[in-house]
Amino acid sequence: MSSGTYEYGQLYRSEDKIYPREVKGRFARLRRLAMFVLLGLFYVGPWLTWDGRQAVLFDLPERKFYIFGMTLWPQDFVYLALLLIMLAVSLSFFTALAGRLWCGYACPQTVWTEAFTWIERSVEGDRAKRIKLDNAPWTWNKIWRKSLKQFLWILLAAYTGFTFVGYFVDVRTLAVQLATFSAHPWSAFWVLFYGFATYGNAGYMREQVCKYMCPYARFQGAMFDKDTLIITYDEERGEPRGPRRRGSDPKEKGLGDCIDCTICVQVCPTGIDIRKGLQYECIACAACIDACDSVMDKMNYPRGLIRYTTEHAIQHKRYHLLRPRTIVYSLILVTLATAMVSAIVLRPPVIADVIRDRNALYRDAGSAGIENSYTLRIVNKQNIERHYRLSVRGLEGITLATADRFTVEPESVFTVPVAVTVPHEFAAGGNIIEFVVEDVDDPDVRVVEESRFRGPVAY
């Protein structure tokens, strides 16, 4: 860390810049793999096509979400709500089980920071070189390295903003529009906005987002218990810490296994010392495990002075995988997943809405009887044209006074006025009636909508 810029009497102290040291090891490889897979999915996602259309497209103006073969309409947003609830419960479940795995490997802040740090390290060098470069005067070496880093950061940030907007606007059209400066002002604004957010968060804010902005960091501690997997320094084994020669016997010197090299602190992206115990700033990235393992290897000590473990295990107590909170979370998750899958599978391919004409209670249609008017709206969710038959029931002698066959274009909404008549002798007082919309070619597909039929008041 560089020295802070605080002077006695000042009310504000700026954050020290953190220069995380590069670390190699199994968890670093895992983190890099997660970065490639997640960023790969994100950047490739909008370019995939399905049935001749962008595979994943959240078309907000059209109010339709295309997710591979599935089209979600505003009426289907209950699935989205279910999905969000499931994600929230999964986060609680995995946090109770395995601590901050999400933060360490999958959180966008971690993933993009990893990518930005990788660019920084490739251009400016490792920790010592970066510190030296920052403190050096503006020579040509510093100018070209800093400029190249900024150029690559801006490029990646801009492409990230473009990709993000590409999930909401057809990505190929957006690419052409941006290249020809003809994009809609809102599209251009969101590309710049998300690009700027990526640049700021992953380039500069980094650990400060985790420490001061992320709400999850604040409440995740409440989801922990003594059987939650955490990254811990084994104090019993490591203390008393102290330097020693390689090959010397620590017991002779009355020392533990920690050689106090502080490499675990130097690799930490949030700049904390894990040897001080579990801290909310720890994002569980496991960099300190890799770092300490490499030190232990060099000293010929067993690995795992810093390791994934649980509070109970450290205290030599029994570990419980099944405990009330993990059981409750998993039951909720299974129930929600079952509800969601069955709701999606059983989702009707057509929706019908009937709205009663509010301008007139009823109309006397002479010998035809009493007439009520409605507006019928049919939503064909399928990607092929469908033919529907409309019928009505619920009162003696009830008939449709308007057309009863409709053709609806694929994935579109069809609106038509309909009128219903009931003979005078059965219309008095009115009643609840049912409109039945049936797919002509597939009678299993039918929806029934209720509405009220109004007639003259019966005496």
For residue 158, give both structure tokens: 């801009």
Distance between CA atoms of residues 393 and 406, nearest Å: 18
- Residue 282 touching ligand SF4 (CB under 6 A): yes
Choose among 288, 270, 154, 281: nearest CA to 231: 288
- Residue 284 touching ligand SF4 (CB under 6 A): yes
Rule CB under 6 A: choose which of 157, 169, 292, 370 binds ligand SF4.
Answer: 292
Q: How many residues bind ligand SF4 (CB under 6 A)?
A: 30
Smallest separation (angstroms) from ligand SF4 to the CB of 253: 15
For residue 310, give both structure tokens: 């649980």
Smallest separation (angstroms) from ligand SF4 to the CB of 282: 3
Count how many Cα atoms sit within 13 Å of the Cα of residue 182 in the half-sphere of its side chain.
4
Expressed in percent and rounded to 5, the helix, strand and coil fractions of the chain are 45, 20, 35
Contact between 289 and 307 under an 8 Å Cβ cutoff? The reply is yes
If the CB atoms of residues 47 and 301 are measured against ligand SF4, the closer one turns out to be: 301
Amino acid letter, 422: V
- Residue 286 touching ligand SF4 (CB under 6 A): yes
Query: Please, which of residues 247-276 interact with ligand SF4 by CB under 6 A?
Result: 258-264, 267-270, 272, 274-275
What is the DSSP-derived secondary structure letter of residue 308? E
- Residue 35 touching ligand SF4 (CB under 6 A): no
Smallest separation (angstroms) from ligand SF4 to the CB of 272: 5
- Residue 231 touching ligand SF4 (CB under 6 A): yes
Distance between CA atoms of residues 363 and 374, nearest Å: 12
Rule CB under 6 A: choose which of 39, 191, 305, 379 binds ligand SF4.
Answer: 305
Rule CB under 6 A: choose which of 295, 354, 420, 433 binds ligand SF4.
Answer: 295
If the CB atoms of residues 2 and 338 are measured against ligand SF4, the closer one turns out to be: 2
Smallest separation (angstroms) from ligand SF4 to the CB of 291: 5
* Enclosing H/E stretch for 96: helix 77-98
Contact between 90 and 215 under an 8 Å Cβ cutoff? The reply is no
Contact between 156 and 119 under an 8 Å Cβ cutoff? The reply is yes
Which residues contact ligand SF4 by CB under 6 A?
231, 233, 238, 241, 258-264, 267-270, 272, 274-275, 282-288, 291-292, 295, 305-306
